[in-house]
């Protein structure tokens, strides 16, 4: 008798996509790509200059609140968020375009060499594409859901910042005046977003933020003057004088520069002094004093300008008192920088200016 041999039945093999075994490689690919995607998104965010953007966004929001969008709810909350999103995209686009155009010069400065474009983590085409997408999306949101006036102000800020201010930085220190225009547009645009018009309060907000930028940016320019000089940026109103005046004239002649292209000296501090030579430390201190004096003058100009806004608020006495106290704090920091143009005092002025503007806008909102 033959023994019965049991033959095991073999189940038919299933394709990987049915057994689930194929998910393992896919999951491994996702895990491998996750750090890359995170790093990419981080670089895109860096293109927007998030710290600068957050300060500017705050002034846009203040303009909206002062313009009437104080307590959004329901459908108005949606419009509020759309306006903020559109504003962020416009500001981010301007900053990204600036970095695309300056990538070669940013590579020469220690402060900016690690940015996505000069470091090579992003290519210029990709950076430009991101900037264009942000600009189109931001302007479209503002035009379709907010109003055309706000969109027009956003377009103007991109054009002036990226295509006027950016190239002028290597030509003249007057670039600060040009750059201060788009820098002062956000509160104006916030007011326009709420009211679809530009009133006296909006003009005063623009003027205050316009003047505020000068001591703020000159403090930055003084702190990073070596980096800026290495990249060829002319941000200081009184740049460091050359060691020899005759050499300056020869260099300017070889470049084909006219008188307006030469460096500007403070009154009484001509490079022809001492036979055309000045010690570097004397030149640096003189230029620092002149820059500090201008920062002090613009800080003083903020006092009557911010006080004038008091005629529009509901609690003028409280507002004016607070504005003058804040202005005095700003003047004190600028005065220290003028008397002793050190990096410590420049950094103190920078920190003071960064805190001053949000507090002033908060005071305006609270007393409105």
Cβ-contact 66, 365 below 8 angstroms: yes
Distance CA 94, CA 131 (A): 7
Distance CA 20, CA 16 (A): 6
DSSP 8-state symbol, 30: H
DSSP 8-state symbol, 142: I
Instruction: Quote the pLDDT of residue 126.
Output: 95
Distance CA 197, CA 160 (A): 21
Beta strands in 29-107 (DSSP E): none
Instruction: Please state, in angstroms and as integers, the Cα–Cα distance from residue 113 to each residue in 123, 124, 157, following that order.
Output: 14, 15, 26
- At residue 347's C-alpha, the angle toward residues 343 and 350, to 5°, is 140
Instruction: Quote the pLDDT of residue 29.
Output: 53
User: Per the structure block, which two tokens stand in for 273?
Assistant: 């002094």
pLDDT in tens, the chain (368 residues): 444 444 454 545 545 444 455 555 555 554 545 677 888 889 999 999 998 888 899 999 999 999 987 666 665 778 889 999 999 999 999 999 999 999 999 999 998 899 999 999 999 999 999 999 999 999 999 999 999 999 999 999 999 999 999 999 999 889 999 999 999 999 999 999 999 999 999 999 999 999 999 999 999 999 999 888 888 898 888 765 443 333 343 333 333 343 333 333 333 333 333 333 444 444 444 488 899 999 999 999 999 999 999 999 999 999 999 999 999 999 999 999 999 999 999 999 999 999 999 999 999 999 99
DSSP 8-state symbol, 115: S
Report the run of H or E that residue 131 belongs to, with start and end: helix 124-141
Distance CA 146, CA 82 (A): 8
Domains with residue ranges and CATH for the chain: 45-198 (1.10.357.140), 199-249+261-368 (no CATH)
Instruction: Please state, in angstroms and as integers, the Cα–Cα distance from residue 314 to each residue in 41, 143, 167, 310, following that order.
Output: 44, 32, 43, 8
Instruction: Quote the pLDDT of residue 31.
Output: 53
Counted residue by residue, the chain has a size of 368
Cβ-contact 339, 352 below 8 angstroms: no
Q: How many CB atoms lie within 10 A of CB 128?
A: 17
The backbone region for 232, taken as left when phi is positive above 0, alpha when psi lies in -120 to 50, beta otherwise, is left
Helix-strand-coil percent breakdown of the chain, rounded to 5? 75, 0, 25
Distance CA 203, CA 185 (A): 10
Cβ-contact 158, 165 below 8 angstroms: no
């Amino acid at each position: 008798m033959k023994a019965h041999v049991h033959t095991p039945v073999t189940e038919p093999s299933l394709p990987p996509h049915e057994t689930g075994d194929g998910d393992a490689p896919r999951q491994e690919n996702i895990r491998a790509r996750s750090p890359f995607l995170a790093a990419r998104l981080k670089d895109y965010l860096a293109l927007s200059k998030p710290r600068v953007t957050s300060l500017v966004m705050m002034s846009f929001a203040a303009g909206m609140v002062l313009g009437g969008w104080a307590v959004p709810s329901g459908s108005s909350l949606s419009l509020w968020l759309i306006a903020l999103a559109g504003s962020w995209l416009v500001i981010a686009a301007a900053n990204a375009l600036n970095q695309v155009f300056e990538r070669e010069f940013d590579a020469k400065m220690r402060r900016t060499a690690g940015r996505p474009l000069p470091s090579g983590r992003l290519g210029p085409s990709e950076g430009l594409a991101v900037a264009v997408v942000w600009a189109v999306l931001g302007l479209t949101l503002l035009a379709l859901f907010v109003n055309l006036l706000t969109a027009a102000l956003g377009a103007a800020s991109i054009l002036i910042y990226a295509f006027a201010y950016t190239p002028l930085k290597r030509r003249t220190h007057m670039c600060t005046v040009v750059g201060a225009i788009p820098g002062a547009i956000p509160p104006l645009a916030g007011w326009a977003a709420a009211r679809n018009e530009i009133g006296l309060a909006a003009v005063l907000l623009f003027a205050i933020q316009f003047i505020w930028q000068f001591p703020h940016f000159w403090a930055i320019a003084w702190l990073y003057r070596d980096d800026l000089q290495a990249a060829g940026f002319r941000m200081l109103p009184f740049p460091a004088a050359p060691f020899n005046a005759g050499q300056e004239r020869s260099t300017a002649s070889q470049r084909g520069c006219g008188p307006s292209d030469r460096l500007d000296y403070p009154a009484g501090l001509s490079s022809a002094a001492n036979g055309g030579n000045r010690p570097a430390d004397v030149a640096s201190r003189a230029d620092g004093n002149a820059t500090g004096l201008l920062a002090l003058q613009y800080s003083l100009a903020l006092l009557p300008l911010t006080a004038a806004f008091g005629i529009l608020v509901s609690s003028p006495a409280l507002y004016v008192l607070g504005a003058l106290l804040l202005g005095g704090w700003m003047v004190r920091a600028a005065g220290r920088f003028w008397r002793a143009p050190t990096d410590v005092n420049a950094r103190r002025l920078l920190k003071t200016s960064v805190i001053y503007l949000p507090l002033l806008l908060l005071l305006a909102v609270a007393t409105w």
